[in-house]
Structure formats: structure tokens, C-alpha cells
Structure 1
Amino acid sequence: MSHSAYNKIWAEAQEAIDVLLQHEIPEQTPKPEKDRLLVFQMLANFYIKYIQIFQNLEVAYSQIVHPQKRRVIRHVLDGVMGRILELKNEMVELEFSEFHFFDDVLQDLKLTPEETEIPIPKYFITEKLKVLKDREKILAQILTSSEAPQTEVKKTVKPLSIEEAIKIIQIAERARQGHLRARFMKEIRLEELREQRAKERATITLDSVLAAIRIQKLWRGYVQRKKTKKEREEEMVFLGMAPLTQVHSPRPSQLQKLKVDALRQAVQEEHEAEFQQALVSIKTNVRDLEGQDIKDTLQDQVRQWFIEFFA
């Protein structure tokens, strides 16, 4: 996507914010609503729309390379995140639950549940990458310094007589034979239990409804375990406790997108460095060119104040 496309995304998100603010802050004070369902529908509508705005602003902030524009977007983005938290808190206090169902709202807005998920802003990691690396270095230094040197402990071996050695060998052999005998008996007992259970299962026939319920239960458990494992891996990658591995080979379009994103990130850093350098140079030029004039003006104002109030 081009620069104009991301500027368009930003403009559309800003227009959506203006529309929401007109609905949230009307000109005339509305009457208090007593119906809890209507209040929840209104809050859920605002909540989902703010999530869509947040997604667009996050994309625009991560891809636009203009430093001044990014600062404005960041200010709006932080405000939108704060408003999302406020709406979430209001819904929790209204329903006394942290889990909400937006089926009706999603159907009215023609959205899917995946489109209402809150993404993790990329700048959470990119802008704190230096801090995270410094933290990793400090942890590595702490771990290396805490490792105590291994000292060799010399043990004196007491010589044994032939009778004592034979007695120790006999005890060890009896213990080994006892373990083998116990393991063998355990295997026989387990085999008998398996045969008994197999006979019981062969005699019992499940109803079709019970069989379907059991199959559904097993399948849902498998799907949920797989989903939980994936979410846990993503969380570990986000926390920096696991490496980012991509199992499937990326497509050419995905590789191109990653390449473009990397180029945009490099351009962002370059423009940010130029912007910071420009701020320093402009401040220095203003101090050199207009500093004396500003100083004289302030001194004249102070003298005039003393003349007016202490004359």
C-alpha cells in the first residue's frame, strides 16, 4: 500500500471518531435510560466501533513515516485505547461479568467476531526494543555472575573386606530381582484389567445420541486444547520468552509485505532521527539569532512592571 492509502485510513478513522463523539456528546442532554438491555446495546455498539477505529489507527501509525503525523496519530491512538477501557469497565459494571455477547451488534454491523479482536500495538515492542535488549544484557550478566564455580570434592574410599563386599552384592541382587518380580506382576495385573474392560465394552452398546455427545465432547476438547496451545505459544513469543518460529513457508505476497514493512520501519527511524536533529538545530538557531532580542524584551517587561507597581 502507498502513503496515500495509509493517509486515507487515518482520515477515515478520524471521521469515524468525530461521528462517535457527536453521538456520545449530544447537544441536548438526553433523558436517563432505565432499560439495561438498551444501555448495553449502546455501549457494545460504541465499544465495537472504537475497536475498529483502533485497528485502523494502529495500522496507520505503524506504516506512516512522517514524524509529525505519527505524533498526532499516537496521541489519538492513546485516547482511543483509554476510551475502549472505559467502555469495557462500564459494561462490566452493568452486567457484573467480564464476558459479553455481541451477537446482535455484530449482525447489525455485518461483522465477524475475528474483526472485533483487539490487536497488540506493534510499537509496544518496537519503541521499547532498546530497553528490552538492555534488560536482557543485565539478566545475562546476573546469571553469569551468580554461577558459582564448581569445586571438586575429594572423597576418601574406605576399603572393604571380601565378606562385606559379597554381602552388599547379594543385597543389591535380591533388590533387583524383587523389582523385576514386582514389575512382572504389575504387567500381568494390568493385562487382566484390560481384558476385563474390553469384555465389558463389548457387551455394552451406546445409544446414538450418547455416542454423538461423546464424539462431540472429544472433538471439542481436542480443538480447545489446540487453540489454547497456539495462544500460549503466541503469548510466550510476545513476552520474549520463546523465539518467533514460522512453521509454514511464507507466501511470496507475505514475503513482499514483510520486506515493505521493514523498509518502512527503516525510513521511519531515518525520518525520526532527522526530526530530532532538526529540533536541536532550530532551537540552536533561534537561541543564536533571536536570543538576545528575547532577553532584552523580557528585561524591558520586568522593568516596566517594577515602574508601574513600585513607583
Structure 2
Amino acid sequence: MTTEQTLDLLLQQMPDHLPGGVLIYRDNKREEILYANSWLLSIFGCSSFDEFLELTGGSFVTLVHPDDREQVERDIRQQIVGSRSKLDFVNYRVIRKDGSVRRVEEFGHRVFIPGVGAVYYVFFLDNDTKYKVYDMDALTGLPGKTRFMRHASMVLALSSRDPKAPKMAFVYVNIHNFNQYNLRNGSERGNQFLIQMADVLRETFPNKLISRFMDDHFVVLTTLPSLKEQIPAISSRIHGLYDSNRLDVKFGIYPVENGSIPVESACGMAQMACDSIREIPDRHVCFYTRNMGEARDLRNYVIDHFREALEKHWIQV
């Protein structure tokens, strides 16, 4: 095959193999969709271009979530008018074929094609893909804490707007006595254990948000109804990864009551539940309760006001 033939073949295949969605639509009143690559079809959960056109109404306007359309149209026009290169960058929500909502980032370029007219060439990257490809823990390949926090915030916000969405829960997973395991077996064995543990969590919670916060601390954002079956399976598999009965896996669970709760607070409450059973050998799962939060607040109050209490003789025998 000649160099020219190779290049032609690569260019023909390029749209469907780019790591993101490609869309072409007319710059007219209807904003008619002319082309979408297979990656974009998959983002929307469609199996064919015709299915995609039916879902979106064949228009870029109706491709965007109804609540975001006015803002997106305004942002694109303002950016195009103010840019010599006619580029735009916006992010918004879309509704997939199954009714679920997904947030995407979109890079657009307005060009004029002789015989066709003005069109937009657009490149899409959905947040699920973005989540998987950066801010990763070097050892396990799981997302880091910052990436998890940001993405979990979006998941909670979207879930809170969908009355049919299942209840969410944060699961804080900690391996008790892992430091001693490292000391006895060496850091290489310890690292292998963490890699295997990450694999167990991926397999148990497919397509869910999982992060390694630090050392042997992992956090999962998942749906609450499935946890009763999943956690015993995780415990059994993790216990099979090591040769010491001194390690113990603990799970702290915080069921999300309000989708507007800061993710950091939700993770903290799941960790509080996990820490509450750290020294109880035969207990492995604990759900967060209001009493835990009240006990923490009381303890913090006592610590913060201890000096004042001494000076004012509030502490008595």
C-alpha cells in the first residue's frame, strides 16, 4: 500500500475512531444535523444515525437539554462573534435514549463550505470519558480524590432532578491494620494487594464512581438498593486476597438524603461511620446516623472550649 493510500484509509476511518463525538450541523434557523460519528451515537445511547436523528429531532437546538438551550445558544453566538477564528466552547446536559441525563463539553468551529454554506464542526467529550482519562491514581488507575469530588457533585445534581433516579449512597472502604500488613510483608506485597482491591471494587461496582483517596482508603458512589448484596460479596473477595487474618475490611455507608449536600461532607460522614466500627472485630458494615454527627459535634465543642472551661471553672470533680 502506498503512502497516499494509507493516508486516504486513515482519513476515511478517522471520524469513527476519534476519542470523542463528532457532529456537523448547519448554521441556519433549524440548525439541521448533517453528520454524527459512532462515538457521539454511543454517548446518546443510539445504535444508528437514524435513531439519533429521531431522538434529537434532527436539530442541534433540540439535542441540548431543554433547560440549557437558551444559555447555550447565547454563549455560542457571543463566542463566535467575539472570535476571529470562529471558535466556541460550551458545556451542557443532554438526554440519552434511555432517558438518563449526561453532561458534555463541546468545542465548535464555524466554517463556510462552498456549495454547502455555513456549518459547525463540533467535537464532544462527555464527562464519563473525561473522568476516566485524567487525575488518576498512579498505582491503581482509579480517579483521585479531586476528580471524584467534582464528578460526584455533578452526578448528585443530576440525580436530584430526576424523580425516578434510585437513591444514592457513598461507601467508605478501609482496610484495618493495613500498615502492619505492609511492615510484615513489604510495600511491594502491599501495593499488589491495593491493586487487586481496586479491581474487586471495579468489578463489583461497574460503571460507578470509585476513587482511592489515600493509602488503603477507597470511596464509591453507587445506588443504595444494590448494596445489601454487593458488600458481603466484596468482603468475601477481599478476604481472599491476603494470607493474614489480621486484616479486616470495614464499610461506612452514608445514604444521600439531599442531593445538594457537599460531596466532601457526604464522604466525611461515610468515613465517620466506617471509623466507628474500626475496633469492633465482628462488625464490618455501619450506616451513618444522626447520633454519630451529634457525638462528633459534642466532642469538637469540648475540645474547642476546654481551655475556656478550665479558666471559668466549668470543669468540676
When normalised by structure 2's length, the TM-score is 0.18
Of Structure 1 and Structure 2, which has the larger fraction of its residues in strand? 2
Q: Which has the higher contact order (CA 8 A, sep 6+)?
A: 1
When normalised by structure 1's length, the TM-score is 0.19
Of Structure 1 and Structure 2, which has the larger fraction of its residues in helix? 1
